[in-house]
Amino acid sequence: MSRWIRRAPLLIAAVAAVALTAACGSSSTSTQPQGSSSPLSSTPKPTASGAPSTSANAQLTVTDDQAKQLCDLIRPQLSDWRVQTPTLDKISLNTTVAQWALQTGVNVLSERGVVDRVTIKSCPDVRDEALKAIEIPDLASGLVAG
Give residue-wise pLDDT tens across range 44-65.
333 343 333 333 445 778 899 9
Per-residue pLDDT tens digits of the chain, which is 146 residues long = 445 445 555 545 555 444 444 444 433 344 444 344 444 443 333 334 333 333 344 577 889 999 999 999 999 999 999 999 999 999 999 999 999 999 999 999 888 999 999 999 999 999 999 999 999 999 999 998 76
Number of domains forming the structure of the chain: 1
Does 24 map to a domain? no
Give the three-class secondary structure for 46: strand
pTM to 2 decimal places: 0.63
Does 57 map to a domain? no
H or E stretch including 48? none
Does 114 map to a domain? yes
Domain that holds residue 88: 69-146
How far does the chain reach from its first CA to its final CA, in angstroms? 34
